[in-house]
Amino acid sequence: MRMKTNLLLPLILAAIAGLVMFDIYGDIQTGTTAGHVAVEVFVAILAIAGLVSILATTWRLQKKIDVEISRREAALAAAESWRQEAGKFIEGLGKAIDAQLKAWHLTPAEKEVAFLLLKGLSIKEIAGVCGKSDRTVRVQSAAIYEKSGLGGRSELAAFFLEDLLTARPESGVR
């Protein structure tokens, strides 16, 4: 459907330009006034200019789309490569996080909320995913923080990620 819509206006403008030129030829053969021919020439030029403008814009936009598609494909390939390289480490990290949550004596429901908090979901999003009320998720989050001795979501994330995320050497931060 999109291709048909994209071709419709250029085809209409090309038809207008062609018909007007055909009319101009006929008018010249029958001896019409110069003013009438000039108006029709102006209309034909406008139609051709519109056609050229649309085609040029379409060409430029298609080039931009092609570049963005290439960038997206490269980003997806890089992400997949990273996932494959990091997969075994991520699996091990998941097991280590699970073991720590068990060590804090979290209930299965609290563990589920803790994992979703670590993934960055909001209270409202967690409630939607788990089919719970916002209030229930808040109560479970508070229980997680109390049982772990942590002050909140950022401390929970830092507990597991701080040692994984080393600063770049040039920054001087460790």
Provide the whole-model pTM: 0.51
Distance, in Å, from the CA atom of 16 to the CA atom of 47, rounded to the nearest integer, reads 7
Can you tell me whether residue 150 is helix, strand or coil?
Answer: coil
- Token pair listed for 135: 């209030």
The domains of the chain are located at 1-86, 104-174
What per-residue confidence (pLDDT) applies to 92? 81
Q: Do 142 and 136 meet the contact criterion of CB atoms below 8 Å apart?
A: no
CATH topology of domain 104-174: Arc Repressor Mutant, subunit A (1.10.10)
What per-residue confidence (pLDDT) applies to 168? 59
Question: Alpha helices of the chain — where are they, by DSSP H?
Answer: 2-30, 34-103, 108-118, 123-130, 134-148, 153-161
Q: Which residues of the chain have pLDDT under 50?
A: 1-3, 174
